[in-house]
Amino acid sequence: MHTHPGATELLIMVEGEITAGFMTPFALYSKTLKPGDVFVFPQGQLHFQVNSGKKKATAFLAFSSANPGAQLLDLLLFGNALSSDIVAQTTFLDIDQVKKLKARFGGKNLNNHMSM
């Protein structure tokens, strides 16, 4: 899961099969794409693409800006020094799950609040 805060993304399916989608606070928009299909991910919207077929999948991507940026959800939550207890308190994860994910994504397992 990721976002592009600086651009809308366009996916054009070439071969294989990809399931793609994006979420809003109240809805999921998802479709299994086949060659010739097109899917648009609105700017800044959390979205995904996964190969849902049995063969290699190929697609072309285009962005509405030369600087789309990329924010990976996993790294935003777990690849940093944000206190593990804050992450646990603001998600549906327990502290042990948070610590395991922080270790996997290179974050620091801090249990106290950090001040600047």
Domain CATH code at residue 35: 2.60.120.10
Range of the domain at 54: 2-69
Please enumerate, by residue number, every residue annotated as part of a binding site for Mn(2+): 2, 4, 9, 47
Residues 16 and 50 in one domain: yes
pTM: 0.75
* Phi, then psi, of 13 in degrees rounded to 5: -80, 130
Q: How many domains does the chain have?
A: 2
Residues 83 and 61 in one domain: no
Please enumerate, by residue number, every residue annotated as part of a binding site: 2, 4, 9, 47
Q: Decide: 88 and 94 in contact? Cβ < 8 Å.
A: yes
Confidence tier at 114 by pLDDT (50, 70, 90): very low
Residues 7 and 40 in one domain: yes
Q: What is the pLDDT of residue 115?
A: 45
Please enumerate, by residue number, every residue annotated as part of a binding site for oxalate: 4, 9
Find, among 63, 57, 18, 17, the residue nearest to 40 by Cα: 63
Residues 11 and 38 in one domain: yes
Give pLDDT tens digits for 61-106: 999 999 999 998 888 888 888 888 888 888 889 999 999 999 998 8
Give pLDDT tens digits for 3-61: 999 999 999 999 999 999 999 889 999 999 999 999 999 999 999 999 999 999 999 99
